[in-house]
Each structure stands twice: as structure tokens, then as C-alpha cells.
Amino acid sequence: MKKMKLLSLLLLATISLLSTSAAAHDDRCNDSSCHVWRGGFNTGDKVSDLKYWLDSSVSSNNYTSILDFGASSWNDISANVSLSKVSKKDDSQVRAYVSYYSQFWDGQWEPYYTDSKGKLSFDSNNFEDWSVGNIRLNLQQIGTSSSSFKKKVAVHEFGHSLSLAHNNDDVSVMKPGDLSFNVPQKADKTHLKNRWK
Ligand SMILES: [Zn+2]
Ligand SMILES: [Zn+2]
């Protein structure tokens, strides 16, 4: 009887470990196993007033609703996270562009931090406190894709702007490539809430 109790306790412990494994490595880190980046927009621990701006290349290529979808998909998940659109570039932290790039990425996130000399520097390690960042959508790769996939790319890139890294371990919109969904999943919401709390 004692053995049975121990076994069921062990089983319970295993089950609860499994169910929390998605959140087990959510400390701000920057090695390749991490699902969240240490780097990010440094407005305290919150990004409750992050502003995005759409370059004229967005509307001229008909990507306005796709990028608006990408931004708004991350709203209403955490009280500490909110993205809203502004019409002036200088009022924004996140800037979106649509163009034809002869490279094999669908979308790209380029964060910049202000270095000790006051110059904007590319944060290749996603480690710094960002000042601004660019989202780029690549017409070469997604120009003829379904609008559902275009939206997935936009959601994914805005996820990067909120310090979410790639995630091949969970059901996640932060997994690269075409997926059967295009909005933040349970694991994405968990990571977002853990990053901004
Ligand atoms: Zn994780
Ligand atoms: Zn990505």
C-alpha cells in the first residue's frame, strides 16, 4: 500500500513536471534553447505602450491589414503588453517595411540598441535594451503566399519585437515556417506573460 502511494505520488510529480515544462526555462536568457530573449524594449518590465509605425511600402503592397493583424494579435494577453499604431515614424519603436529582398527569409526582426557613444547598433545577440527595431517582410518569399501565411509571418515578427525567440519545442507561432494556425498559441501566451511581468 505504501508503495502504491509512493508510485502515484511519483506519477503525479511527473505529470505536473510535464505540464510546466513549457515554462521551465523562461528566465531571460539568450542561448539557443531559450524561448524568450533577455534583450527587449526596456520600458521597465512592461511594454504596455509600444508604438509601431508602417512604412509607405506597407500600404503600397497591400500589407496594412496583415501587419495590423500581426500587432493586435499580441494585445489582450498580458496587461503589461500593448502595441498601438502611430502615424509618425519618430513616435514609434517598431517600424515595418515590405520589400523584395533576394534572400531566403520570409520575415525579419532587426533590433537596435543605443551604444555608449549614443549610436544605434544592431543587437545581433538579442541581449540589449532596444531603442528601435525593424520588421521586414520579404515579397520574394511570401509575395504569392496565402493571406493566412502572410499574417502568420507578421504575428511571428511582432512576437520577436516582444522578445519572444524561436520555439520549435511547443505548439507555437514562434516556430519558423508555415503552420496550421497563425495566432499566438498557449505556449506563446505563457512565454509572453513570463517575459513581461
Ligand atoms: Zn519555453
Ligand atoms: Zn523568426
Distance 94 CA to ligand 2 centre (A): 15
The rounded Å distance from CA 87 to ligand 1 centre is 34
The CATH superfamily label for domain 28-195 reads: Collagenase (Catalytic Domain) (3.40.390.10)
Cβ–Cβ < 8 Å for 131, 120: yes
CA of 1 to the centre of ligand 1 (A): 38
Q: Which ligand is nearest to the CA of 137?
A: 2
DSSP string, 86-124: -S-GGG-SEEEEEE--SSS-SEEEEEEEE-TTS-EEE-T
Nearest ligand, CA of residue 193? 1
For the CA of 175, the nearest ligand: 2
CA of 37 to the centre of ligand 1 (A): 11
Predicted confidence (pLDDT) per residue in 11-60, tens digit: 444 443 343 444 444 455 656 678 999 899 976 667 888 999 999 999 99
Which residues have a Cβ under 8 Å from the Cβ of 15 and sit 6 or more positions away?
none
Q: Give the pLDDT band (50/70/90) at residue 68.
A: very high
Please report, for the chain, the start and end positions of each structural domain, with discontinuous segments joined by +: 28-195
- From the list 15, 2, 147, 180, the residue with the least C-alpha distance to 70 is 147
CA of 191 to the centre of ligand 1 (A): 6
For the record, the C-alpha cell of 99 comes out as 520589400
C-alpha cell at 75: 494585445
Looking at the DSSP bridge assignments, the partners of residue 15 are none
Cα of 158 from ligand 2 centre, angstroms:
9
CA distance 57 to 63: 8
Q: Give the pLDDT of residue 104.
A: 95
Is 163 within 8 Å of 193 (Cβ atoms)?
A: no
**pLDDT tier, 4 (very low <50, low <70, confident <90, very high otherwise):** low
Q: Which ligand is nearest to the CA of 154?
A: 2
Of all residues in the chain, what percent carry a pLDDT higher than 90?
75
**Integer angstrom CA distances of residue 47 from 7, 93, 99, 134, 139:** 45, 11, 27, 16, 29
Q: pLDDT per residue over 121-138, tens digit each?
A: 999 999 999 999 999 999
Tell whether the model's pLDDT for residue 183 goes beyond 80. Answer: yes
Distance of CA 101 to the CA centre of its chain: 21
Which ligand sits closest to the CA of 159? 2
Distance 39 CA to ligand 1 centre (A): 16
Task: Say how far residue 134 (Cα) sits from the centre of its chain.
Answer: 13
Q: Nearest bound ligand to CA 171?
A: 1
